[in-house]
Amino acid sequence: MLTFSLAQLNFIVGDLSGNVVRMEDAARKAAGDGARIVVFTEQALTGYPPEGLLGESVFLSRVDAALLKLCDASRATPHLYWVVGAPTRRKRVGGALENSLLVLKDGKILLQHAKRLSLDFGVSGERISSEPKPSTAACLEIDGTRVGFLIGGEVWGGAGKADPFAKLAAEKPDFVIVIDASPSFVSTRKPRHARIVEASRQIGCPMAVANQVGGHDQLVFDGASFAATPEGVVFEAPRFEESVSTLCLREGAFLHADGAAIAPLPAFGLPFMEFCRRQIVLGLRDYVRRCSFGKVVVGSSGGLDSALVLALAVEALGPKNVIAVTLPSRFSSAGSVDDSVALCRNLGIKLFEHPIHDIVMICEHGFGTTFGEPLGGLALENLQARARGMVLMEYSNQLGAMLLSTGNKSEISVGFCTLYGDTNGGLAPIGDLYKTEAIRLARYINEYAGCERIPNAIIDKPPSAELAPNQKDSDRLPPYPALDTILKAMIEGEHLCAEDRAEVMAALAEQEKAKGGMALIARVQRMVWKSEFKRRQLAPVLRLRPLLGGNGRRLPIAAEYDHMSIAIPAMYGG
């Protein structure tokens, strides 16, 4: 019998001493629960992903010191094995970094296992990687149980002869512990579960995975640490929150620490909208606080996107910490301000009204003087967005509040936004939600609350940027359902899960058959390619998917896209 705790903590990247304290607290709890092993997550010491910090020697020196401190801290629970992830340096001077798993006990390092697959810390432009080195399977006998250890991606095998998974399997462990830091994306839970169950079958023993939780810049980690046998996943820790789950392994089966049976997992995970809500709320909260802001400010246009961002921000930070500003121009409908008023009343937040007429007029005057013609068209539209962006940054400066950008994925993907205007902000919380999904999420938030948090008037009105008289988004963009279908096929493509893929492909086939459908697809494609320069300067987008139209897949900017403007529909087949 072996009792162990899966500790899914919200580490802070770079906060080495804080992370040590977090682990100490969890270890104390685990020991109190009667655990023999406490399992932390991949790169727990630094928080994941540390990115370019790993390129700074001053940081690495501190990591070395923190690891000693952590090791020392393990003396407080002398009978407990601490399984910890941390970067380590090869012995030789200037040696490559390794992504390591260490087992500490009573002040000693009992085992050190370096991840043998390449490290990817998301360093753009360069990549800090560890070359494969001779493999040693990491196993330790604890109370008569032979425990094997793996780090994150190693469970997927690969790397030919150096395959760490195969090496470990050959050691025939009784139980395998995996430390992980897998970002949470739409539909990654199922394959993650399936792989571990399969791995458990291949090795022929139960497995447990501890996964990080929390928001780290664009990535959110959902925790959801779990345990599986060859028969299936039998336990899952809470999602999107910290927890220390203590389980007991007896004769190849998992029980609660007190010996009680574990209730079967529900057949389905979180509904998609609930997933989005919780992912964005957690990501937003952690990002804002870790950037040392207590508050956020949002330009409230009276439209859906800003309303949704405000509602999510209130959930993340509380109504007192969310400030809305309505900035009407001469093209704003009367409804815009009224809707903002209703929204802010519902959410219980302060609304400032700050018209931009006079700024726009002054600029029009200056423009007329210079060019001898009135400011109009796109330049006038952009000007309004930029005047708003400028004023909102005054609020940000004055109130010490982070400005949030309200762009959705559909807009960002086709460049339907004004740089240095509505794109301003420290974070784009709904930048990975397609417009049709944003609408669904707004409705869901009302359902979930059981009341009209976001006024239906806002959800139901036709989307408009209100930068010209009676303007509607549909004047320039295809209807959002059609647009989103094309974008999903183009951007997500092979990353869509099977069901979504079938749905998108069916909708796309409809689209192709419709009059002008192929031309529309080509037009959308071109809009995506041609707007890459905008995406390079956007606020970081909270990610819901591994690829995104925000700042995920990187396209060349100064490239020739003109010869590619006729879409080949077979592209979507893959």
In the complex, what is the shortest distance from the CB of residue 177 to a second copy, in angstroms, rounded to a whole number?
Answer: 27
In the complex, what is the shortest distance from the CB of residue 364 to a second copy, in angstroms, rounded to a whole number?
Answer: 10
Residue with Cβ nearer a second copy (61 or 456)? 61
Residue with Cβ nearer a second copy (2 or 12)? 12
Residue with Cβ nearer a second copy (93 or 260)? 93
Spell 327-364 as b/e; 16+ CB within 10 A means b.
bbbebbeeebbebbbbbbebbebebeeeebeebbeebb
* Torsion 252-257-258-260 (CA) sign: negative
In the complex, what is the shortest distance from the CB of residue 280 to a second copy, in angstroms, rounded to a whole number?
Answer: 15
In the complex, what is the shortest distance from the CB of residue 94 to a second copy, in angstroms, rounded to a whole number?
Answer: 7
In the complex, what is the shortest distance from the CB of residue 253 to a second copy, in angstroms, rounded to a whole number?
Answer: 38
Spell 269-296 as b/e; 16+ CB within 10 A means b.
bbebbebbbbbbbbbbbbbbbbeebebb
In the complex, what is the shortest distance from the CB of residue 373 to a second copy, in angstroms, rounded to a whole number?
Answer: 9
In the complex, what is the shortest distance from the CB of residue 146 to a second copy, in angstroms, rounded to a whole number?
Answer: 31
Name which of 458, 429, 465 is nearest 443 in CA terms.
458
Name the token pair of 204: 């022929």
Residue with Cβ nearer a second copy (156 or 561)? 561
Q: In whole angstroms, how far apart are CA 395 and each of 60, 345, 354, 405?
A: 38, 20, 10, 14
Residue with Cβ nearer a second copy (81 or 165)? 165
Residue with Cβ nearer a second copy (419 or 508)? 419
Residue with Cβ nearer a second copy (48 or 82)? 48
Amino acid at 96: A
Write the CB contacts of 508 (distance below 8 Å, at least 6 apart in sequence).
485, 486, 489, 521, 569, 572
Spell 22-49 as b/e; 16+ CB within 10 A means b.
bbbebbbbbbebebbbbbbbbbbbbbbb
Amino acid at 180: D
In the complex, what is the shortest distance from the CB of residue 49 to a second copy, in angstroms, rounded to a whole number?
Answer: 7
Residue with Cβ nearer a second copy (83 or 427)? 427
Cβ burial, residue 470 (10 Å; 0-12/13-18/19+): exposed
* Cβ count near 235 (within 10 Å): 20
Residue with Cβ nearer a second copy (253 or 291)? 291
Name which of 155, 227, 152, 207 is nearest 183 in CA terms.
152
In the complex, what is the shortest distance from the CB of residue 42 to a second copy, in angstroms, rounded to a whole number?
Answer: 15
Name the token pair of 321: 């910490």
* Contact by Cβ (8 Å): 222, 236: no
Residue with Cβ nearer a second copy (234 or 542)? 542
In the complex, what is the shortest distance from the CB of residue 513 to a second copy, in angstroms, rounded to a whole number?
Answer: 19
Residue with Cβ nearer a second copy (16 or 248)? 16
Residue with Cβ nearer a second copy (302 or 540)? 540
Spell 486-523 as b/e; 16+ CB within 10 A means b.
bbbbbbbeebbeeeebeebbebbeebeeeeebbebbbb
In the complex, what is the shortest distance from the CB of residue 225 to a second copy, in angstroms, rounded to a whole number?
Answer: 23
The backbone torsions φ and ψ at residue 521, rounded to the nearest 5 degrees and listed phi first, read: -60, -45
In the complex, what is the shortest distance from the CB of residue 142 to a second copy, in angstroms, rounded to a whole number?
Answer: 33
* Contact by Cβ (8 Å): 394, 383: no
How would DSSP label each residue in 138-207?
-EEEETTEEEEEEEGGGGG--SGGG-HHHHHHHT--SEEEEEE-PBP-TT-HHHHHHHHHHHHHHHTS-E
